[in-house]
Chains A and B, each alone.
Chain A
Amino acid sequence: MMRQLRAEWTKFRTVRGWVTGMALAGGFIIAFGLFPGMQGTCTDNKCKLPTGPQGHLVTDRFEFAGQTLDGDGSLTVNVTSMTGELPPGPNAEQPRQGLTPWAKAGLIIKDGTKAGSPYAAIMLTGSHGVRLQHNYLYDQAGAGAASWLRLTRAGDAITGEQSADGTHWTKVGTVVLKGLPTKVQAGLFATSPQHSEASALLSSSGPSSVTATFRQVSQQGSWSGQLEETELTGSGDIGPLVSGSSGLGVSVTQALAGTFLGLVFAIVIGTTYVTSEYRRGLMRTTFSATPRRGRVLAAKAIVAGGATFVTGLVAATVAVVFGQKMLRDNGVFVHPVTTATEVRVIVGTAALLALCTVFGVAIGVLLRRSALAVTIGVTGIVLPYILAMSVLPDGAGRWLLSISPAAAFAIQQSAVEYAHVANNYIPTEGFFPLSPWLGFAVLAAWTAVAVGLAAVVISRRDA
C-alpha cells in the first residue's frame, strides 16, 4: 500500500494544475479571513463585557430594587402586571406595545451588585412562563401560570416557588450557589432583552423594555431595610452573551467565510484527479501497475484527501488566528472561544475540505466524466450551503443543512445556542441546525456511500 501511496503522491504533485488549485483553495480561505470587509465600533475595549462564574461572557443588566439579606431568609412578591414595549417590526416604523418572549420580572438573590457575579432568580417571563435561573447558563421551567413568586435562601441553597393565589405554593426547584457569602443582595428586578423577528427574508431586531408592578412584598430573615411595593421598568438581560443579531458581534466562524470557495477547489481537484486519468486512458496504465484496484481508490482518496487536509489546516489556522485579529482591529466584536473549540473549528474545517475531496474522488470514479462529476460534486456540497446562506427561507435552509453534505459546515460553528436566550439562531449568523459532529457525520455518511459504490464499481468494470 505504501507503494501505491507514493505513486499517487508523485502523480498528484507533478501536475501543476492540482498543486496550483490546492494553493488557491488555501489562498481563498485565508483571503476571506484576513480581509473580512466587516467594520464595527468595538475598538479600544469599548465592548468589554463581564464574565460569569463559569468564565463565559455574560450580559448582566437589569432594573433592581433590593436590600442586603444577612444569612438565611426569604422574599415573596405578587407580580400583578407586566407590560412592555417592542421595537418596530420589519415593516413598521413605530415601537409597539407588547412583551418580548424572554422579558423577565421577579426576584433575585445575588452575590453583590458587581456585573457577572453569581445569582439565582425566579421570574415571570413574556411567554415562557415561570422560570428559575441561576448563574447565567442555567434555566429551569416552572409549571403552569402564576403571579406569586418566592425565593428562599438556606445556606448555599436557593429555592424558588410559584403560586397562582399566594396560598398554594409549588416548588420550582432548588439551586446551589457554591460559596455564597452570608450577606447577599436580594430584591425585585425587571429586564427585557433584544427583540428580534425574522420573516421569510427580513430580520429585524432592537431593544425592548418591560414594566412590572410588584405588590404585597414580604420579607423573612435579617434584612437591611424594607422593600416597598413598586413598579420597575427594565431593559437588558441576565444571561450568557450570544453572537448574532440579538446578541453582540460575530463568532470565530466568520473568519472562515471563504471555506465554501476552498471547497469548490477541493471538489474540482478530487474529481479531476480521477477523471483526467479516465479521459486519457491513463487509468489502464494505473491498473496495470496496480491490479488491485481497491488499493488504487484508497491511495487516491488518501493522497488527495491528505493534501487538502494539510492545506486546509494551514489555511484555517492562519484565517482563524489572524482573521480574528483583523476583525477585532476593525472594531468587530468576536466572541472569545475556548482553545478546544478553536482547535475543533480549525481541524474540522480541514477535515471538511478533505472529506469533500474524497467525495470528489469517489464521484470521479463513478461518473468518469470531469464536467459531470464536478457539477454533481459542487451542486451536492457547495450549492446547498450557498442557498441556505442567501435566498432560502430559514426552514428550507435548515432542512438543506441537515440532510445535504453541506451539513458538515456545522463543524465550524463556534457560537453557542442557549434555549433561554432569544436570538436569531440561523445559519447566516453562524448557527447550524445540527451539532458540529453530527453535521460532520452527515457528510461522512455521504462520502462513505460514494466511496463504497466507487469501490464496487471500480473493481467490476472493465477498464
Chain B
Amino acid sequence: MIEVNGLRKRFGPQLALDGMTFKVEPGKVTGFVGPNGAGKSTTMRVVLGLDAADEGTTLVDGQRYRQLRQPLCVLGSLLDASALQPSRTARDHLLWMAHSQGLTGKRVDAVLGQTGLTGVAKRRAGGFSLGMRQRLGIASALLGDPRAVMLDEPFNGMDPEGIVWVRGLLRSLAADGRAVLVSSHLMSELEDVADHVIIVGRGKVIADTSVKDLLTSASGGRVNVRSQDVAAALAALPEGEPTGPSTLTVTGMTAEAVVARLNGHGVPFSEVSAHRASLEDAYMDLTREAVEYRGVSS
C-alpha cells in the first residue's frame, strides 16, 4: 500500500504539487493519469525519497521509504527506462541492484526470464530500443519481489505486443495482491487494465474513483437508438434528442424500457444500445480545466 498525504512542492515560482493526496490499494491496478506537468513524476520521486516535499508525507507499507532496509523488496519502481550506464550489460545492471538489496544473481535471472530479456541479458544496455529498456526497467522494479510496484509511463516506446504484455503483467501483479500504480498521460493506455484511477492536474487529485464508477457516470445512463423513422421514435420517446438523420439518444431510461416503449408505439428500429463512454471521454471531461490551464501557460 502506498499512501500520499498532502504533498506540496514548489520549484521556483511554480507550484508542482498542491496538496496531492491519495492511496494505492493492494490487489488493484491503479492508474495515475493526468496531463504532462500535472505532478505525476514529482509525486513518484517524493514517494521514493528522491525529492523532498515542502509539506506532506508519503508512506509505503506504513513506513517512510528512506527508512526501508531493503527498499526494492518493498516498493519496486521504474521512473526512467533510459537511466542506464550504456556500456553495462542488462544482467550486470540488475546484478548491482540485486547486490544492493542483499539479493543474488538467481533473482536477476528470474526477472530476466519474467520480462523476456534472457536472450539479451549479456548485451550492453546502450544498444537497447526504448521498448527493451522499458522491459529492463520493469525487470528492475520486480527484482525485489516487492509488495508494491510503481511504474512511470511504462508503455512509452513499446510495440503493440509489448503493450499487451505489460497489461497482462500488471493484472497478474495485482492478482497476486500487490499494490500497482501506473502512470500515463494517455487514459486509453489504461483501458482494460486499471481497476482504479487517480486523475491529477495542477499538482492535485481531480478524481479518485473506480473505473466502473467513472464509466457509469460518464455514460450518464444514455441509450442510443437507430431508426428509419426518427420523427415517430421521438414521438414515442419525448425524452430523446436527435443526434443524426437516423439516430437519437435517450437519457434517464434503461435500454429495455426504450425497446418496450418503441414496440408499444409500433416504431421500427434497427438498434437500441446502452451508450458506453470510453475512459478517454471521462478523462477529457475531468481534465478539461487542467488542459486549459496548460494551454494558457504555454
Question: Which residues of A line the B interface, CB within 8 A?
Answer: 3-4, 6-8, 10-11, 14-17, 276-277, 280-282, 284-292, 462-463
List of A residues within 8 angstroms of B89 by Cβ = 14
List of B residues within 8 angstroms of A11 by Cβ = 85, 88, 96
CB-based contact B102/A3 at 8 Å: yes
Residue on B nearest A299 in the bound complex, by CB:
B100
**A-B contact sample (5 more), CB < 8 A, given A15-B85, A463-B45:** A3-B100, A280-B86, A282-B85, A289-B97, A291-B49
CB-based contact B96/A288 at 8 Å: no
Indicate whether B194 reaches chain A with its CB closer than 8 angstroms: no
List of A residues within 8 angstroms of B87 by Cβ = 15-17
Chain B: minimal CB distance from A388 (Å): 36
CB-based contact A285/B97 at 8 Å: yes
List of B residues within 8 angstroms of A292 by Cβ = 66
Indicate whether B32 reaches chain A with its CB closer than 8 angstroms: no
CB-based contact A284/B50 at 8 Å: yes
Chain A: minimal CB distance from B56 (Å): 15
Indicate whether B30 reaches chain A with its CB closer than 8 angstroms: no
Chain A: minimal CB distance from B102 (Å): 5
**In the complex, A373→B49 CA distance in Å?**
26
Partner-binding segment picked from B72-80, B234-242, B260-268, B275-283: B72-80
**In the complex, A287→B51 CA distance in Å?**
11
Of residues B50, B67, B101, B102, which shows the largest number of chain A Cβ atoms within 10 Å of its Cβ? B50
List of B residues within 8 angstroms of A17 by Cβ = 87
**In the complex, A56→B72 CA distance in Å?**
62
Asked if A10 meets B95 with Cβ closer than 8 Å, knowing A288-B77, A289-B71, A292-B66, the reply is: yes
Indicate whether B84 reaches chain A with its CB closer than 8 angstroms: yes
Residue on A nearest B48 in the bound complex, by CB:
A288
List of B residues within 8 angstroms of A462 by Cβ = 45, 50-52
How many chain B residues touch A (CB < 8 A): the figure is 32
**In the complex, A462→B50 CA distance in Å?**
6
**In the complex, A411→B284 CA distance in Å?**
70
Indicate whether B212 reaches chain A with its CB closer than 8 angstroms: no
Residue on B nearest A2 in the bound complex, by CB:
B102
Q: Sorted from nearest, which 3 A-B pairs have the closest CB atoms?
A: A7-B100, A281-B83, A14-B92
Digitize B76-117: 1 where CB-to-A-CB distance is under 8 Å, 0 elsewhere.
Answer: 010110111111110010011101111000000000000000
List of A residues within 8 angstroms of B66 by Cβ = 291-292
**In the complex, A15→B87 CA distance in Å?**
6
CB-based contact A280/B84 at 8 Å: yes
Chain B: minimal CB distance from A14 (Å): 4
CB-based contact A10/B96 at 8 Å: yes
Chain B: minimal CB distance from A2 (Å): 8
Chain B: minimal CB distance from A243 (Å): 45
Chain B: minimal CB distance from A244 (Å): 46
List of B residues within 8 angstroms of A287 by Cβ = 48-50
Indicate whether B68 reaches chain A with its CB closer than 8 angstroms: yes
CB-based contact B71/A291 at 8 Å: yes
Contact with B88, one of A8, A14, A284, A290 (Cβ below 8 angstroms): A14
Asked if A7 meets B88 with Cβ closer than 8 Å, knowing A289-B71, A289-B72, A462-B50, the reply is: no
Indicate whether B65 reaches chain A with its CB closer than 8 angstroms: yes
CB-based contact B72/A288 at 8 Å: yes
Asked if A284 meets B45 with Cβ closer than 8 Å, knowing A14-B92, A462-B51, the reply is: yes
Can you identify 11 A-B contacts, CB atoms within 8 angstroms? A3-B102, A7-B96, A7-B99, A14-B95, A276-B85, A281-B82, A281-B83, A285-B83, A288-B48, A288-B71, A291-B67
